[in-house]
Chains A and B, each alone.
Chain A
Amino acid sequence: MVSPAVRAAIDEEIAKMPEKRGALLAALRLVQEERGHLCAETIQEVAEIFELHPAEVMEVVRFYNHFHERPQGRHQVNVCTSLSCALRGGRGLLRQIQAHLGIRAGQTTEDGRISLGHEECLGACGNAPMLRIDDAYHLDLDWLRTQQLLDGLE
């Protein structure tokens, strides 16, 4: 069940928008922050709040990269692999991270610590290569710094 606190936050988002559905993305984000991912039951609950068919909510969930239907690691590490970063070693960095963690992009470490991914340009091309850990950007990386960042994750 969506907790009362999250439900209240969703209602607040709904109140801001001219139409209820306008708050759907915000609601999915809030629910995912609480639950870690959006399983079928959760999607159905959100669909009920928004008076939508769950297929319509599923469609939205699967369109956007940030929504996950499966459990994720405690931290999301996403490496930018778009051109400006690639030119400055972004893809090499991803390869090194994969080797270091023993997983491929799209996977989660066995201890559930890190889900690794690669993303398209994150709007920090002037500080390439870069990656995103959860909500924070880490810029102008080299392997040493990256390794420290990864190893520092709980």
Chain B
Amino acid sequence: MVHIRVDGTAYEVREGLTLLQALDDLGVLMKGVDIPHYCWHPKLSIDGSCRMCQVEVEGMPKLQIACGTPVRDGMIIHTRSERALAAREGVMELLLVNHPLDCPICDQAGECKLQDYAFEYGQAHSRTREPRRALKKRVELGSTIILDQERCILCRRCVRFCREVSATNELAVTQRGDRSTIETFPGKPLENDYSMNVADLCPVGALTTRDFRFKTRVWSLEEVPGICTGCSRGCNVHVGVVDHEVRRYTPRRNDEVNGTWLCDQGRMTYREIGAPDRITEPAVRGNSGQLVGATLDRAIGRAVELIREAVQKEGPGVVAALASAHATNEDLAALRGLLRALGSETHAAPVLTGSSDALLVRPEKAANAEGARVAGFGEPGLLFDKIRGGGVRVLIVLGHDVIHEQFLGTPEPLAALDGVILLDTHRSRLEQVADVVIPGRHLAEKGGSVTNHAGLVQAVPAALEPTFEAIAEAQVLARFADALDVSLTDEPERKREVD
């Protein structure tokens, strides 16, 4: 550890880091110690080209770049000395020389570092009267990303991302001097599983996702912490909400989980929330054999009836549950609590699997696969056997993963049951065999905790209310318990066993 002083405050920092790295490591960068920076990014190599982060270091005649200057014991740093401020103003002015200043129509307005810093460090207006550099305003770098060359400040974050993180190398800076531009090779567009991160890390509005471009003004966006539900990595996201609608996920930094990145596929899962195939209304299978809309009370009533009848006829063992690995820990606890209260131990959680990579993407395609496993929801094979063998009469199903071809492939095997109670967010063929359908809430709508593949339990609040009436699955299950007159509050048996 070495000791440094920054603007009069003493810090103890890890050796071998540069000043910006050390301040970031302490969690004070831009949260107490403001050193503006464009090219430096905590998860990319040091570039040292924007020259925005210049600070004064006692004993060194020239200003030093904070991103590239290694900390030394006893170093005394001034970030707001007259010289440092003048240098930043100089950099700002020169950056703005060629910048189009079309903030009013820029997507990044509101989260643009150029705008922020110009306000803080720049002069009121730029002094050039020459035509600004005319470049291409709309270059499609690939299917996800659009580049505005005029806005680009050539910090090369995007280029470094493609070299160092996605390791796909699609982006390059071509030409020299003030002709420099970001480009792709003809026929080799920016297409990789992480491509949209470049829009997040672009400090200005030069890179935008086709998905979000011009859709929303950033300042009308409310950002709430969330977790991607795409796989068991549990990447942290900001859920961007406008008018009860999720417009995007962007990465929320968590060095233990996802650093500052998201995979494209996971990022786009936000679309599931406002998807047209959401289940928006409870339904009960009527005498005609058709599912008909019902009130939540009626649906819960019917579900409870089915459970009660089965228990009375054949004992508690015939009630079983197939949980979803998307369900929160709270949902899963409620489900297991209900079964246990009834006296059944028959439950499982099918976890869909798919491709993975070395960076973030996990093979388990659900956010709470690990949480389900820890909560005792095992592989569904035995349960399927039991269903086929007639040992199950009523099945409570959270989510429809079970009819995926990795599992049953079809709802058919469930047709013979006396009752299928479906708590789900999205429509599926499972409705063909369901006797009761109750709409669920997406993680972003209910909040709660999920446990990622590494066992990290992460809790998030609800980001928005659904546009239809629905309560969280755990609450539905609690209503079941109430109606059945059993208690979910605790899991006394298990605790006793452990003791």
Tell me if A40 counts as interface (CB < 8 A to partner B). Answer: yes
Return chain A residues, CB-CB under 8 Å to B185.
Answer: 40, 43-44, 53-55, 58
Residue-wise, chain B 146-187 has the 8 Å CB interface mask toward A (1 for contact) of: 000000000000000000000011111111100000011111
Chain B hits for A59, CB < 8 A: 172-174
In angstroms, Cα B168 to Cα A53, docked, is 8
- State whether A63 touches B188 (Cβ < 8 A): no
B188–A54 touching, CB < 8 Å: yes
Interface of A is mostly: helix
Q: Are B172 and A56 in contact (CB under 8 A)?
A: yes
**Would A58 and B183 be within 8 Å (CB), given that A53-B188, A63-B174, A63-B175 are in contact?**
yes
Whether A58 and B172, one on each chain, are in contact in the complex, defined by CB atoms closer than 8 angstroms, is yes
Question: Is there a chain B Cβ closer than 8 Å to A62's Cβ?
Answer: yes
B176 and A53 contacting across the interface, CB-CB below 8 Å: no
Please, which residue of chain B has its CB at the minimum distance from the CB of A61?
B174
Q: Is the Cβ of A55 less than 8 Å from the Cβ of B169?
A: yes
Q: Which residues of A contact B176 (CB under 8 A)?
A: 63
For residues 179 through 206 of chain B, which have their beta carbon under 8 Å from a beta carbon of chain A?
183-188
A62-B174 contact, Cβ under 8 Å, with A53-B169, A55-B169, A56-B169:
yes
Taken together as a complex, chains A and B put the C-alpha atoms of A62 and B188 apart, in Å, by: 17
Q: Which residue of A lies closest to B173 (CB)?
A: A59
What CA separation (Å) do A56 and B160 show in the bound complex? 12
A53–B172 CA distance with the chains assembled, in angstroms: 10
The docked-state distance in angstroms from the alpha carbon of A43 to that of B174 is 14
CB distance from A125 to the nearest CB of B (A): 23
A55–B191 alpha-carbon span in the complex (Å): 13
A93 to B472, CA, bound (A): 82
Tell me the count of chain A residues lying within 8 A, CB to CB, of chain B: 12
Number of interface residues of B (CB under 8 A): 15
A40 and B170 alpha carbons, distance in the complex (Å): 15
Whole-angstrom CA separation of A52 from B167 in the bound complex = 11
Most buried by A among B171, B176, B183, B185: B185
Q: Are B174 and A53 in contact (CB under 8 A)?
A: no
- Chain B residues in 8 Å Cβ range of A43: 185
Q: Which residues of B contact A63 (CB under 8 A)?
A: 174-176
Q: Which residues of A contact B172 (CB under 8 A)?
A: 55-56, 58-59
Instruction: Kindly state the separation between the CA atoms of A86 and B188 in the bound complex, as whole angstroms.
Output: 43
Over the window 22-66 of chain A, the binary record of Cβ atoms lying under 8 Å from chain B Cβ atoms (1 yes, 0 no) is: 000000000000000000100110000000111110110011000
Nearest B-chain residue to A64, judged by Cβ: B176
The docked-state distance in angstroms from the alpha carbon of A130 to that of B337 is 91
Nearest to A43 among chain B residues (CB) is: B185
Tell me the smallest distance from the CB of A71 to a CB of chain B, in Å. 17
Give A59-112 interface residues, CB cut-off 8 Å to B: 59, 62-63
* Residues from chain A with Cβ under 8 Å of B175 in the complex: 62-63
**Cβ-closest chain A residue relative to B175:** A62
CA distance A13 to B169 in the complex (A): 25
Taking the closest CB of chain A, its distance from the CB of B183, in whole angstroms, is: 7
* Residue in B168, B169, B173, B186 whose beta carbon sits within 8 Å of that of A40 in the complex: B186
Bound complex: CA of A101 vs CA of B45, how far in Å? 50
Quick check: A55 and B184 within 8 Å, CB to CB? yes
Which residue in chain B gives the minimum CB-CB distance to A65? Answer: B176
Q: Which residue of B lies closest to A40 (CB)?
A: B186
User: Shortest beta-carbon distance, A88 to chain B, in Å?
Assistant: 27
A43, A55, A58, A59 pick with most chain B CB within 10 angstroms? A55
CB distance from B170 to the nearest CB of A (A): 6
The interface residues of chain A lying within 8 Å CB-to-CB of B171 are 55
Q: Which residues of A contact B170 (CB under 8 A)?
A: 53, 55
Q: How far is the CA of A52 from the CA of B170 in the complex (A)?
A: 11
**Residues in A neighbouring B187, C-beta threshold 8 A:** 40
Residues in B388-409 with C-beta less than 8 Å from chain A: none
Residues of B within 8 A of A44 (CB): 185
Chain A residue with the shortest CB-CB distance to B167? A53
Q: Which residue of B lies closest to A59 (CB)?
A: B172
Interface hits, B446-479 → A, CB 8 Å: none
Report the Cα distance A55→B190, complex, angstroms: 11
B252-278 interface mask toward A, CB cutoff 8 Å, 1 = contact, 0 = none?
A: 000000000000000000000000000
Bound CA–CA A62/B186 (angstroms): 14
Q: Which residue of B lies closest to A52 (CB)?
A: B169
Return B141 CB to nearest CB of chain A, in Å: 11
Q: Within 8 Å CB of A53, what residues of B?
A: 168-170, 185, 188
Determine the chain A residues whose CB is within 8 A of the CB of B184 once the complex forms: 55
Q: How far is the CB of B173 from chain A (nearest CB, A)?
A: 6
Q: Distance (Å) between the CB of A45 and the closest chain B CB?
A: 13
| C-alpha spacing A139/B184, complex, angstroms | 41
Cα of A106 to Cα of B185 in the assembled complex, Å: 23
Least Cβ–Cβ distance between A143 and chain B, in angstroms: 32
Complex Cα spacing A58 to B187, Å? 13
Q: How far is the CA of A62 from the CA of B176 in the complex (A)?
A: 8
Set of chain A residues within 8 Å of B186, measured between Cβ atoms: 40
Nearest Cβ distance between residue A42 and chain B, in whole angstroms?
Answer: 12
Most buried by A among B173, B175, B186, B187: B186
A63–B172 alpha-carbon span in the complex (Å): 11
Q: Are A58 and B174 in contact (CB under 8 A)?
A: yes
- The distance in angstroms between the C-alpha atoms of A62 and B177, with both chains bound, is 12
Closest residue on chain A to residue B181 by CB atoms: A62
Using A40-B186, A55-B183, A55-B185 as known contacts, list a sample of 14 further A-B pairs with CB atoms less than 8 Å apart, ordered by residue number in A: A40-B187, A44-B185, A52-B169, A53-B168, A53-B185, A53-B188, A54-B188, A55-B169, A55-B172, A55-B188, A56-B169, A58-B172, A58-B174, A63-B176
Interchain residue pairs with CB less than 8 A apart (20):
A40-B186, A40-B187, A44-B185, A53-B168, A53-B169, A53-B170, A53-B185, A53-B188, A54-B185, A54-B188, A55-B171, A55-B172, A55-B185, A56-B169, A56-B172, A58-B172, A58-B185, A59-B172, A59-B174, A63-B176
Q: Nearest 3 CB-CB pairs, A to B?
A: A53-B169, A59-B172, A62-B174
Interface residues of B (CB under 8 A from A): 168-176, 183-188
